[in-house]
Amino acid sequence: MRNKPTKPPGCHFSAVWEFCVRTDRRRAFEKIYGPEGDWARLFSRGDGYIRTELIRDPKTTGRYVTVDFWKSRQAFERFKKQNLVAYKALDKKCKSLTTSEGLIGEFEKQVPPDLLRVGATTSKTDLAAKHVIRQATLADLPAIVGLEREAVSAAHWNETAYRDIFKQDAPARIALVSNDQNGATQGFVVARLNGQACELENIVVVNSTRRHGMGSRLLQALIADARKQRAARIFLEVRQSNAGARAFYEKFGFALGGRRKSYYSNPVEDALLYTLML
Ligand SMILES: CC(C)(COP(=O)(O)OP(=O)(O)OC[C@H]1O[C@@H](n2cnc3c(N)ncnc32)[C@H](O)[C@@H]1OP(=O)(O)O)[C@@H](O)C(=O)NCCC(=O)NCCS
């Protein structure tokens, strides 16, 4: 007799909700339900929370879908049990935003087990949550260049190239920095907009605070900004050997779509091309 099928080792769990939003409350809804919104911040208290996506139906006015990603259903249920009062309070506060809401379903997706490393403790997510993500300005140039120089695996530009980002006639870009409570810059992301395409050119988090969710917050902010600018996809190149960055992008749903042979020099190496459809 065959054994009962067991759950594959590397699954993550997502809950998909559908909302019909009142016409005059759409902006408030997008803020509260977006990847940086009140719900995402509340979920960040939970060990095992990954991220939230907010998707607008372009054909039906006011219809939205949210997808909350968790490392497991147990992680979500544990979070809910531990934060029931805050969960119910926020749910109540949000009632006036919508005319209807409903759970479409709960899903599980198999992902490589190493992406499910149990390690996102509350204190880790707290640390990232305390950072402020804001638009970069020319005054951030020394900090950006300093962070980039320390990050061996980052893309390397000269200072003039970074300075050019802030010129009036520069190509359209999204440049964000992450500041800690003391105002120190701990990370940045730079991306170029070209029509519906958004090229993630560089992302760096200071070595001492990696694996604390800072890169995720920067990437979430970039995704939100790119969507606002009507970008349809984010693409990037990464060194084949940059396993950490590849795992990071794959966790966010970037799909490997191609390879540029010997694209990088010092040392010579292939570039892998990843794309995230927005
Ligand atoms: C890539 C980078 C920006 C990620 O920043 P970060 O703040 O460490 O990322 P996060 O803490 O938000 O990581 C989110 C998830 O991505 C994955 N991840 C991130 N770094 C990883 C690594 N080194 N190995 C495996 N998985 C990794 C993990 O799944 C992680 O979640 P977990 O810690 O709960 O397991 C950071 O490692 C960095 O600055 N690297 C050097 C610069 C660089 O190479 N940039 C990319 C240029 S293309």
Which pLDDT tens digit goes with each residue over 178-229? 998 888 999 999 999 999 999 999 999 998 889 989 999 999 999 999 999 9
The DSSP bridge pattern shows strands 49-56 and 63-70 to be antiparallel
Strands (E), 120-245: 132-135, 173-179, 185-194, 197-205, 233-239
Given a contact cutoff of 8 angstroms between Cβ atoms, the answer to whether 110 and 11 are in contact is yes
pLDDT digits (tens, 9 = 90+) for 254-271: 999 999 999 998 889 999
Q: Calculate the CA 173 to chain-centre distance.
A: 18
Q: CA 36 to CA 43: how far, in whole Å?
A: 11
Given a contact cutoff of 8 angstroms between Cβ atoms, the answer to whether 220 and 35 are in contact is yes
- Distance, CA 187 to ligand 1 centroid (Å)? 12
Q: Which of 277, 257, 260 is nearest to 269 (CA)?
A: 260
Q: CA 197 to CA 164: how far, in whole Å?
A: 20
Residue minimizing CA distance to atom 4 of ligand 1: 215
Residue type at 110? Q
Mean pLDDT of 158-175: 94
Predicted local confidence at residue 120, as pLDDT = 39
Phi, psi of 158 (to 5 degrees): -85, 170
- Distance, CA 128 to ligand 1 centroid (Å)? 13
- Distance, CA 90 to ligand 1 centroid (Å)? 30
Pocket test for ligand 1, best of 122, 153, 210 (most atoms within 8 A of CB): 210
**Does residue 65 surpass a pLDDT of 60?**
yes
Pocket test for ligand 1, best of 111, 209, 242, 248 (most atoms within 8 A of CB): 248
Q: Calculate the CA 113 to chain-centre distance.
A: 20
Q: Calculate the CA 248 to chain-centre distance.
A: 9
The more confidently predicted of residues 137 and 13 is 137
Residue minimizing CA distance to atom 33 of ligand 1: 211
Mean pLDDT of 96-125: 67
pLDDT digits (tens, 9 = 90+) for 114-147: 444 433 344 555 667 778 999 999 999 999 999 9
- Distance, CA 114 to ligand 1 centroid (Å)? 12
Predicted local confidence at residue 266, as pLDDT = 83
**Does residue 157 surpass a pLDDT of 90?**
yes
Residue minimizing CA distance to atom 28 of ligand 1: 248
CB-CB neighbours of 170 under 10 Å: 12
Residues with CB under 6 A from ligand 1: 115, 117, 119-120, 151, 153-155, 202-205, 210-216, 238, 242, 244-245, 247-248, 251
Percent with pLDDT over 70 in the chain: 89
- Distance, CA 249 to ligand 1 centroid (Å)? 8
Domains detected in the chain = 11-120 (3.30.70.100), 128-277 (3.40.630.30)
Q: How does residue 112 score in pLDDT terms, banded at 50, 70 and 90?
A: low
Q: How does residue 5 score in pLDDT terms, banded at 50, 70 and 90?
A: very low
- In angstroms, what CA-CA distances link 21 with 101, 108, 202, 216? 9, 27, 36, 27
Predicted local confidence at residue 1, as pLDDT = 41
- Distance, CA 165 to ligand 1 centroid (Å)? 24
3-state SS assignment for residue 13:
strand
**Does residue 111 surpass a pLDDT of 80?**
no
Mean pLDDT of 50-63: 89
Predicted local confidence at residue 58, as pLDDT = 86
Q: Which of 257, 242, 258, 167 is nearest to 210 (CA)?
A: 242
